[in-house]
């Protein structure tokens, strides 16, 4: 029993350290940008050694991805977005239009959470930095996978819009919910999150309902 307790205590301490590192990384990334954060500066901010950063989270790319994942989900619980309450509630919408509106609301929440970080990555210049390019590519692949889960749920309950394939519907949603669109409207145009959600719901419903 003493050994089990010791292992549990160590696991909790390791999780606490990881959370502290990720939280400090989030602050450094949003304040100074991707290029200014180093593993050394992060370690200093988190009060740990650089090796602890590598052991707890990984290299700089892994740290940024960990920050993104927490901002996306709202916590560090290893539960896929498709199994979270917001997504399940969307699946239960009575019509295709209501489901699309619920997805717009979910997208608004996600964009409000991750847009500041994505703006740092996108405008840091993926073409000139292979690490950023791979991070952005990974995020886009995961985002499209998430769009696919939404479309699969919609098709299962309400079918496809007339004349469109599932892949075409995913293309449309992937484009309309892009972080570039959200950044242009929310940050560069100064739209409120509510206005962005209304716009996105209107576009999704006009195209796919």
Render pLDDT for 83-99 as a digit per residue (tens, 0 to 9). Answer: 888 888 888 889 999 99
pLDDT at 136: 83
* Residue 127 in domain: yes
Mean pLDDT of the region 7-25:
89
pLDDT at 115: 78
Q: What is the CATH number of the domain that holds 26?
A: 1.10.10.60
90 lies in the same domain as 37: no
pLDDT at 80 over 90: no
On whether the pTM is more than 0.85, the answer is no
pLDDT at 118: 79
Q: Distance (Å, rounded) from C-alpha 9 to C-alpha 64? A: 27
Of residues 110 and 54, which shows the higher confidence score?
A: 54
* Residue 194 in domain: yes
State how many domains the chain has.
Answer: 2
pLDDT tens digit sequence for 113-159: 887 787 777 666 555 678 778 888 888 898 999 999 999 999 999 99
Cβ atoms of 200 and 108 within 8 Å: the answer is: yes
Highest mean pLDDT (candidates 78-87, 122-131, 169-178): 169-178
Mean pLDDT of the region 4-33:
86
Mean pLDDT of the region 42-69:
93
Cβ atoms < 10 Å from Cβ of 47: 11
* Residue 197 in domain: yes
Percent of all residues in the chain with a pLDDT value above 90, rounded to a whole number: 54
* Residue 189 in domain: yes
Mean pLDDT of the region 20-28:
94
Burial degree of 191 (CB within 10 A; 0-12, 13-18, 19+):
middle
CA angle, 40 as apex, 127 and 141 as ends, to 5°? Answer: 35
* Residue 70 in domain: no
Mean pLDDT of the region 17-42:
91
Cβ atoms of 154 and 82 within 8 Å: the answer is: no
6 lies in the same domain as 97: no
Residue closest to 139 by CA, chosen among 109, 166, 155, 119: 119
- Range of the structural domain that residue 182 is part of: 79-208
Of residues 172 and 6, which shows the higher confidence score?
A: 172
pLDDT at 126: 56
Mean pLDDT of the region 185-202:
94
Of residues 19 and 121, which shows the higher confidence score?
A: 19
- DSSP conformational letter for 128: G
Cβ atoms of 102 and 195 within 8 Å: the answer is: no
104 lies in the same domain as 204: yes
| Residue partners of 38: CB distance under 8 A and separation at least 6 | 60
pLDDT at 128: 64
110 lies in the same domain as 200: yes
Chain centroid to CA 49: how far? 28
* Residue 66 in domain: no
Write down the mean pLDDT value for the chain. 88
pLDDT at 127: 57
pLDDT at 5 over 60: no
């Amino acid at each position: 029993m003493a050994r089990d307790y010791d292992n549990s205590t160590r696991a909790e301490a390791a999780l606490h350290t990881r959370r502290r590192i990720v939280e400090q990384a989030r602050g450094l990334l949003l304040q100074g940008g991707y290029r200014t954060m180093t593993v050394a500066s992060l370690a200093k901010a988190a009060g740990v050694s650089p090796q602890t950063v590598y052991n707890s989270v990984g290299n700089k790319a892994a740290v940024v991805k960990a920050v993104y994942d927490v901002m996306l989900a709202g916590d560090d619980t290893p539960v896929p977005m498709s199994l979270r309450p917001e997504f399940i509630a969307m699946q239960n919408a009575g019509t295709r239009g209501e489901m699309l509106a619920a997805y717009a609301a979910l997208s608004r929440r996600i964009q409000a959470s991750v847009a500041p970080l994505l703006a740092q990555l996108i405008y840091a210049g993926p073409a000139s930095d292979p690490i950023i390019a791979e991070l952005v590519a990974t995020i886009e692949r995961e985002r499209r996978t998430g769009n696919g889960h939404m479309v699969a749920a919609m098709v299962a309950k309400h079918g496809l819009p007339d004349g469109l394939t599932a892949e075409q519907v995913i293309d449309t949603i992937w484009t309309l919910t892009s972080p570039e669109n959200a950044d242009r409207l929310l940050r560069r145009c100064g739209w409120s999150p509510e206005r962005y959600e209304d716009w996105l719901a209107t576009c999704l419903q006009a195209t796919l309902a």
